[in-house]
Amino acid sequence: MPTLNADDGVRLDYTEHGDPAGTTVVLLAGFKAATASWMYQLEPLVDAGHRVLVVDLRGHGAAERPATGVDMARRGRDVRDVMEELDLQGAILVGGSMGGNTIWSYVAQFGADRIAAIAIVDQTPKMLNTPDWPHGYYGYDETNVDTYFAEKIPDTGQGTPVMRRGMRLVRLLKALKGVDRTLTPGELDLLGDHARADWRKVIAATDVPVLFVAGADSELWPSTHAAAAAALAPQGQSVVIPKDGHAANIEQPKPFNEALLAFIAAI
């Protein structure tokens, strides 16, 4: 697996697939997930003629796992290091869950000059529910802003129960095999930083095409977040995938891939 070093020396990993001359699509996984979480997207993207880079940022897959010091700003800098080290221009960035807001961290710090388009997979830009944003994480509001994610990822009781997802569950188990569900103090710190962030102003200032994808049955937040986020973006659009949970690209890969490829083709 190819590697590169971030500006602080931490090793990041990636795999490269497809036509080196094709439009580059960079896939960034969600919290703790590895490159395998994109296993159902690789073949369709390669078949469409794209160069696909699947990146393990610090704390993911085969990349290094610093015990502390990882926050959303650092994740954005990791993306910067990947973009600059590989000299990516006109790239399409696709982020799942926390990987989506990692893209906004990168854009907030370094701009969108290297980016042709962005796709965000079931990630609300503001997890805290407030009167002006009712599209956040279920049960998370100003009364528990500092405690809700202090010990774990809370079970919301929303969405389709795991054992009733049929083939959706089979695909999840295959794509997320080996992911350690325990959370270290450093990972909890990152989760809290992620939960408190608000990326809406960044979205409003980013004038490239952005696709916001929501799973209709997401267990983390209402699917209304996609349309609400798209309304903030100068070139935003949204799609809600029926019978789909938070891991939208894994649980329902066929409609997800169709939506992503149509979005890319229209750029």
Q: Give which of 264, 267, 262, 251 is closest to 96, Cα–Cα.
A: 251
pLDDT of residue 38: 98
From the options 3.30.70.1230, 3.90.1150.10, 3.40.50.1820, 3.30.300.100, give the CATH code of 3-265: 3.40.50.1820
Please name the residue ranges forming H helices in 148-252.
Answer: 167-175, 185-196, 200-204, 224-232, 248-251
Count of C-beta atoms within a 10 Å radius of residue 169? 16
The two three-digit tokens of residue 247, written as one number: 């891991």
Predicted TM-score of the model (pTM): 0.97
Choice among 75-79, 96-100, 169-173, 187-191 with the minimum mean pLDDT: 169-173
Backbone angles phi, psi at 215, to 5 degrees: -85, 125
**How is the chain split into domains, by residue range?**
3-265
Instruction: Say which residues have a Cβ less than 8 Å from residue 90's Cβ, sequence separation at least 6.
Output: 23, 24, 114, 115, 116
For the cut 80, the answer to whether the pLDDT of residue 35 exceeds it is yes
CA distance 89 to 82: 12
CA dihedral 174, 178, 181, 183 (to 10 degrees): -140
115-174 pLDDT, tens digit per residue, is 999 999 999 999 999 999 999 999 999 999 999 999 999 999 999 998 899 999 999 989
CA distance 78 to 83: 9
Residue with tokens 């083709």: 265
For the cut 90, the answer to whether the pLDDT of residue 178 exceeds it is no
Q: Stretch 36-52: mean pLDDT, rounded?
A: 98
Question: Which CA distances in Å does 189 have to 69, 149, 151, 206, 254?
Answer: 9, 9, 10, 27, 35
Average pLDDT, the chain: 96
Question: Which carries the bigger pLDDT value, residue 67 or residue 46?
Answer: 46
For the cut 80, the answer to whether the pLDDT of residue 1 exceeds it is no
End-to-end CA distance of the chain: 30
Q: How confident is the model at residue 112 (pLDDT cuts 50, 70, 90)?
A: very high
140-153 pLDDT, tens digit per residue, is 999 999 999 999 99
